[in-house]
Chain A
Amino acid sequence: MDVLLDNLELFREGFVGTLSLTATSALLALVLGLIIAGFRVSPVPPLRLFGTVWVTLLRNTPLTLLFLVAFFVVPQILFPGINSFLLAVVALGMYTSAYIAEALRSGINTVPMGQAEAARSIGMTFTQILRMIVLPQATRAALPPLSSFLIALTKNSAIAGAFNNVDLFNIQKTLSNEGYNILVIFLWITLGYLAITFTISGLFRLLERRMEVAR
């Protein structure tokens, strides 16, 4: 108990660190994922190829290696002096975007062909079809995996903590240096992560319920 109360400031800093890293990279991952999913279903071959390469490469590389590239190669080659929080966001966001793109793509694929054909035959335009027919159904199918990926993203943010970011994992080192019982430290840190992951799954359950339709 003392560990938390004595170091409330540190825990708050760590929790906010994890939260902001998760939120920012989730945003990036969603945007990138949407774009890449768009590429993967587009009628333009080079874009499709780009999407495939993106997904294959990122899904088969350990995240740790990505962080290594982000922290030690990107500053050297492309952007010297870049903010390290930004680097962590880009690495996490890109990694998760590959998974999100796949979830969205399979969401789109769940929409039966006939619906789109019917929509086109009554003269709806591409944007209309996308907005009124495909996306609502695709989102509904993609929500459960999306929620899992965002939870995974939260957990993965700990790897950034092992590099440079101040987050829940990172403060553990400072605390154990001060000689607190590691069991208690890890208990509180775990509770911190659980708070975030439960919020995410709760939010998505709410979303799913709101988007539910009677069939």
Chain B
Amino acid sequence: MKLQKTAASAAVILALAATAACGGKEGSAGDKQGGKTDEKSLPKYDVAKSVDVGSPVLKKAQKRGKLIVGAKADQPYLGFQDQATKKYSGFDIEIAKMVAADLGFAAKDIKFETVDSGAREAAVRKGDVDLMIGTYTINPERKKQIDFAGPYYHAGASLLVRKDEKAITGPDTVKGKKVCSIVGSTPLQTIKEPKYGAKVTELAKYSDCVKQLVDGQVDAVTTDDAILKGYAADNPKKLQVVGETFSDEPYGVGLKKGDNALQKAVADALKAHQDNGDYKKAYEATLGKSGSKFQEPPALEEK
């Protein structure tokens, strides 16, 4: 019968597709923007030996032989996964590598797992990830559920618009415009307030927002300037960041509540690499290339 023939041909096509998987071009697909990360100027981190700080989470990781780090996968220059090479790159990834080195894990012993914004607390609380390093703002609500080490970077909410956008120049000009961000994010709550009066669209991921911005479904995307600059640098023909920042977002390393030993070890690691210049080098090789000027790292508060 007809359906059977369809099925047979379907099987053949699937088999062909499977065999076709072997071979093909190497490297990353799509636009080459001179490489998102300047691989050569990345600092090398010395891996500490036989670390013992009395942290249960770390003990488990050492037994496993891998440190599981939660990261973002869709934020160019911060936490980004190339879909052809499966490699993660960006500033947050470098922070993860320098912290891991001081905890006794070489870069190859880090297992990155993609965790989206809405799932971060759950992932840390449940122990799915040992550390969460992904544009993770330290705030009181989150501190009820997990602990932070940091801050290691200061970002602030800003606006991403299309290159040809004339009307939106900053947070004061978004009245009645459609502004996109992820569900429940703080800048979105701010911009919804009568003072700014934007109409909001809430999606699951920033990359979804960016896609809708390019398609003209929304007029602006709001979140931390570091993230937005990454998108703009990734797609300079179509996107730009406008306006002053209108909030303060200190990024920290999320970890399991109550593991003070780990918190201290991570904070120490951050401090050490900030002092020896790795931090600056890593910044210039990643986030710095998106147009964010280097700023001195903030003083560590959570340690």
Contacts and interface: CB of A to CB of B under 8 A. Distances in A.
A–B interface present (Cβ within 8 A): yes
Interface of A: 71-72, 75-76, 80-82, 84, 162-164, 166, 170, 173-174, 177-179
Given A163-B203, A179-B144, A173 B212 contact: no
Given A177-B141, A179-B144, A80 B216 contact: yes
B21 to A, nearest CB: 21
Contacts of B292: none
B144 A164 contact: no
A75 B118 CA distance: 26
A166 B216 CA distance: 20
Interface string B142-184: 0011000000000000000000000000000000000000011
Nearest to A83: B217
B12 interface: no
A40 B202 CA distance: 40
A72 B208 contact: yes
Nearest to B203: A164
Nearest to B141: A179
Contacts of A84: 201, 217
Nearest to B186: A177
Given A72-B215, A170-B202, 18 more contacts: A71-B208, A72-B208, A72-B211, A75-B216, A75-B217, A80-B217, A81-B216, A82-B217, A84-B201, A162-B204, A163-B204, A164-B202, A170-B183, A173-B118, A174-B183, A177-B141, A179-B141, A179-B144
B208 A173 contact: no
B203 A173 contact: no
Contacts of A82: 217
A75 B204 CA distance: 18
Nearest to B184: A177
A76 B183 contact: no
Contacts, number: 41
A81 B213 CA distance: 10
A75, A80, A82, A164 interface centre (most CB from chain B within 10 Å):
A164
Contact of B212 (A75, A166, A177): A75
Contact of B184 (A80, A162, A163, A174): A174
27 contacts: A71-B208, A71-B212, A71-B217, A72-B208, A72-B212, A75-B212, A75-B215, A75-B216, A80-B215, A80-B216, A80-B217, A81-B217, A82-B217, A84-B201, A163-B203, A163-B204, A164-B201, A164-B202, A164-B203, A170-B202, A173-B183, A173-B184, A177-B141, A177-B184, A178-B141, A179-B144, A179-B145
A163 B208 CA distance: 9
Contacts of A179: 141, 144-145
A163 B211 CA distance: 13
Contacts of B145: 179
Nearest to A80: B216
Interchain residue pairs A-B with the least CB separation, the first 4: A80-B216, A177-B184, A75-B215, A76-B215
A174 B39 CA distance: 39
A166 B204 CA distance: 13
Interface in B110-157: 118, 141, 144-145
B144, B201, B203, B217 interface centre (most CB from chain A within 10 Å):
B217
